[in-house]
Chain A
Amino acid sequence: MRRWSTSQLMQQTVFVGPALFAYAIVMVLPFLLGLYYSFTNWNGVSSQIDWLGLKNYVTILTDDPDFGSSLWFTARFTFTVVLISNLLGFLIAYLLSKPMKSRNMLRTIFFMPNVLGGLLLGFIWRFIFTEGFAAIGESTHIGFFELPWLSTEASAFWGIVLVSVWQGAGYLMVIYIAGLTNVPSDMLEAAAIDGASGFQILRNIVLPLIMPAVTICLFLSISWTFKSFDLNFSLTQGGPFKSTESVAMNIYYEAFKNNRYGLGTAKAVIFFIVVTVITMIQVSITKKREVEM
């Protein structure tokens, strides 16, 4: 009796069980249900559900250019945002890890955009782009502000990129700062004494040592931007002419607006596979570059 109750299995059940149970109910079960619906023609309401087999998947892959173009938009968007926001985040972190008077205040300022929600940010920036920029452009005639912001494909794309970078870089900065402060100062000192230049120190000592932070930052920013929804929704509504419609929005419209829940979940399943593959590749690549101290 005693042995049984304190056995490994029993302990694991007791300690992990409740969390696993909650996870199963909240995450796994809906996922499996969604998987089931993706093979049906359910409209989200009706009690009539017909099994369609793979028909939804065939429709998406052969007869849905909109899904393809939203996937392509999301890929371009993710690539651009991940690149810029990580570079910027790292740069700010690097500068703010140097001794500076206003350091703490600046850190707070850069982190601030992240405290606001994406939906709110979208509405604020929408106003800045369409009203603020236009007003500045009118009085100063600087080309940048006179662009037709958000109403052409290119300006809408870069508009969203701008806001996402502005929002995300601060968060990444915090992670990079944490990574940078963990770099032991004796190593840096030793390198400096050996005559290494600032760039050499950064490249050969700092970067390898903060690889864990890079892994996390890349993972976070890839999965965030890939799933982006609220910012596109409030900033451009996917427009003009669906050119900034992210995959998440496409799925939402299909499932809830077009009453094609089955088709929408099928898209979500495909999207899930794409995101999983990409993040797994990324994590395995950056993991390899991490060094143990």
Chain B
Amino acid sequence: MKKWITVLSVVLLSCALLAGCAGGGKEEPENVANGNEAPPGEVTITIMNFKVEIAEQFNKLKEEYEQTHPGVKLQIDTLLGGDNYNTQLKARFASGNMPDIFNNEGYKQLDAWVEYLEDLSDQPWVKNEIEIAKEPMTRDGKVYGMPVGIEGLGFLYNKDMFEKAGITELPRTISQLEDAVVKLEAAGIQPFVNSFDNWFGLGFHNVNNPFAKQSDPNAFINGLNDGTARITDNAVFKDWVKLFDLNIKYGNKNSLTTDYNNASTMFATGQGAIYQSGNWLQPVLDKLAPDMKVGLLPMPISEDAAMNDKLFVGPANNWVIYNKSPVKKEAKEFLNWLVTSEAGQKYLTKEFKFIPAFSNIEVNPDDIGTLGAEVMKYIEQDKALGWHWSKFPDGAAQEFGASMQKYIAKKVTGDELLSEFQAAWEKMNTR
């Protein structure tokens, strides 16, 4: 009898346990459902933000938006960009906990997510979007994302150091750049700050240079995909290796273990004169070295001054809306508010320091910082080339980065570097 009671009580307890679990599971969907059905009363838009740099400013925006839009709450989850962002997004997707607004870089990333993205073609801001920002998020004539902003990539340089080294004219060709670098070294200044630790700066930003300087980058990339073009016998790539050589030769010690944070600090604290980066470094520089005089140089690979005097400019990232989101309407309204209302525009330029991708937004160069202003100058003078890494086959950029690290460590020659690029492209493209 005793045994029987024990067994029974165990069964009952187990049932209670299971029931408890089940109850817990049930509650959640109910809450969500309530959120859906509740008329305008109270909705929450979840935003997954990829830019850590603007996390604080975003919270200010949240307060203002919630005040002017009663009934709408914003929930902002800020995550570090790159690897973590996409992994987190996939994890949240798999657990059915998708944010309503998230980020997408376009091209290959758009391929992966396109079936879950809301078509935004009918939004009022589309007509004001500048051409260069449209391409990544357009598929079959439909627009799936709103560009966050425009960013420019090139060599950041320390104006005081250039002056000290007696460089009066800014280098526009590779030989001028070499002259400048030699002068810097003669003046006892470390010419380049290199961060070769991560594949990101190498395989994305640095390699973009020869891709963008093809006479028709898209045709070249298509050619690589169908096998009619090759990296190995491409003159632009061979020129680019020379710039890379210069970079390595006049670079800092242990560049292979200098990471992004280290390198940024080194540049900001005057331990080097030239640093491959972009206007996104402005908030960091403002904090570390507010008095520093800094400018942006193009990255010349040959003697053609007209072709080389150009910055690489692209849409930083894009806002997209999850098409199964229950608050689609409110999410669209939010994005629209961001680029059409005065308050939204103020946040975009003054607080986030983004270069807007919309022709209707007036920008005061003082608001977006020196670097942003320089990028805008290049855009206005039509001296801008595009960003192409999002068109690379998945995984190719990492292979590029690894091959470049081998080159830095002198494990491969320049020709071998380019044939490794070619092999990496073919391998990643066919998988």
Contacts and interface: CB of A to CB of B under 8 A. Distances in A.
Contacts of B3: 6
A92 interface: no
Contacts, number: 93
A63 B395 contact: no
A23 interface: no
A11 interface: yes
A241 B411 contact: yes
B178 interface: no
A2 B3 CA distance: 10
A257 B255 CA distance: 25
B394 interface: yes
B7 A46 contact: no
A149 B83 contact: no
Contact of B409 (A43, A47, A240): A240
B406 interface: yes
B309 interface: no
A260 interface: yes
Contacts of A150: 256-257
A17 B255 CA distance: 57
Interface stretch (B108-116, B164-172, B362-370): B108-116
Interface in A110-142: 126, 129-130, 134
A237 interface: yes
B60 interface: no
A26 to B, nearest CB: 12
Nearest to A239: B405
Interface residues of B, number: 39
Label chain B's interface by main secondary structure.
Answer: helix
Given A239-B405, A241-B409, A258-B395, A151 B256 contact: yes
Contacts of A47: 115
B68 interface: no
Given A18-B14, A150-B257, A59 B409 contact: no
Contact of A14 (B10, B83, B112): B10
10 contacts: A6-B3, A44-B112, A46-B115, A148-B257, A150-B256, A241-B405, A241-B406, A256-B90, A259-B394, A263-B431
Interface of A: 2, 5-6, 10-11, 14-15, 17-18, 43-48, 59, 63, 126, 129-130, 134, 148-152, 237, 239-242, 253-254, 256-260, 263
Nearest 9 pairs of A and B residues by beta carbon: A151-B256, A258-B395, A241-B405, A258-B394, A241-B402, A241-B406, A130-B257, A242-B402, A151-B257
